[in-house]
């Protein structure tokens, strides 16, 4: 959990979740109109809350998944899958 790789992975996930949360609050489909009339305190609150929950999950995952990773996946966050030949 104290490695640079772990925190880089965790922050990447948190930023992604914050952006998704902000878009959810803004309304997604009605984006152009909702940006002008948005309650930015709500948008920021939901984005920050999503990021915080993601960071907490990453810290919890550091003891479950692959050591040094923010992923719950025991094989690691980035593993390849091979497709059988036909």
Label residue 77 by pLDDT band (50, 70, 90): very low
Q: Retrieve residue 34's tokens.
A: 């909702």
The domain ranges of the chain are 38-63
Label residue 70 by pLDDT band (50, 70, 90): confident
Instruction: Write down the pTM of the prediction.
Output: 0.71
16 or 79: which carries more pLDDT confidence? 16
Concatenated DSSP letters of 11-80: HHHHHHHHHHHHHHHHTGGGHHHHHHT--HHHHHHHHHHHHHHHHHHHHHHTTTSSTT-S-S-TT-SS--
Write down the pLDDT at residue 83. Answer: 56
């Amino acid at each position: 959990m104290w490695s640079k790789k772990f925190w880089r992975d965790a922050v990447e996930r948190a930023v992604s979740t914050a952006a998704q949360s902000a878009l959810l609050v803004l309304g997604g489909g009605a984006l152009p109109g909702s940006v002008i009339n948005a309650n930015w305190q709500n948008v920021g609150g939901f984005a920050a809350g999503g990021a915080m929950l993601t960071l907490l999950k990453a810290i919890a995952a550091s003891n479950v998944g692959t050591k040094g990773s923010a992923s719950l996946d025991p094989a690691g966050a980035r593993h390849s899958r091979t497709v059988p030949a036909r």
